[in-house]
């Protein structure tokens, strides 16, 4: 059983991945991975190849989720939570879910 590793795409504030890291949660941002400017599909493929659960505000990922194999998508509407609340919800997901349970799954936060 493997722990989740989150990958925040460009639509999510870098502060989210940094906040997760400070709390002991494995996370990387698109910026830190050198992936700024990649298309949404390229972001999802990168996350999948690296066994990462992508965290996004971008609803384009919802339609791609049905077409492309992935290691999980955590989707949250941009205006639903502030950075701190999103970090807390992702940390809870990290604490309660194994990576294999996120394969081809979309978690709506």
When divided into structural domains, the chain yields a total of: 1
Phi, psi for 64 (deg, rounded to 5): -65, -30
Across 21-38, average pLDDT: 96
**Residue 64, in any domain of the structure:** yes
pTM: 0.93
Q: How far apart are CA 10 and CA 96, in angstroms?
A: 25
pLDDT at position 15 is 97
pLDDT at position 1 is 54
Quote the domain boundaries for residue 22: 6-108
Q: What is the CATH number of the domain that holds 19?
A: 3.40.50
**Residue 29, in any domain of the structure:** yes
Report the mean per-residue pLDDT for the chain: 94
Q: How far apart are CA 94 and CA 6, in angstroms?
A: 9
**Residue 1, in any domain of the structure:** no
pLDDT at position 16 is 97
**Residue 45, in any domain of the structure:** yes
Q: How far apart are CA 105 and CA 88, in angstroms?
A: 20
């Amino acid at each position: 059983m493997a722990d989740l590793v989150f990958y925040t795409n460009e639509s999510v504030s870098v502060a989210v991945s940094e906040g997760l890291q400070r709390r002991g949660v494995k996370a990387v941002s698109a910026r830190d991975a050198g992936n700024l400017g990649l298309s949404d599909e390229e972001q999802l493929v990168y996350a999948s190849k690296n066994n990462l659960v992508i965290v996004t505000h971008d609803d384009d990922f919802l339609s791609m989720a049905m077409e492309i194999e992935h290691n999980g998508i955590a989707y949250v509407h941009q205006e639903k939570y502030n950075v701190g609340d999103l970090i807390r919800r992702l940390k809870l997901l990290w604490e309660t879910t194994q990576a294999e349970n996120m394969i081809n799954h979309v978690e709506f936060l």
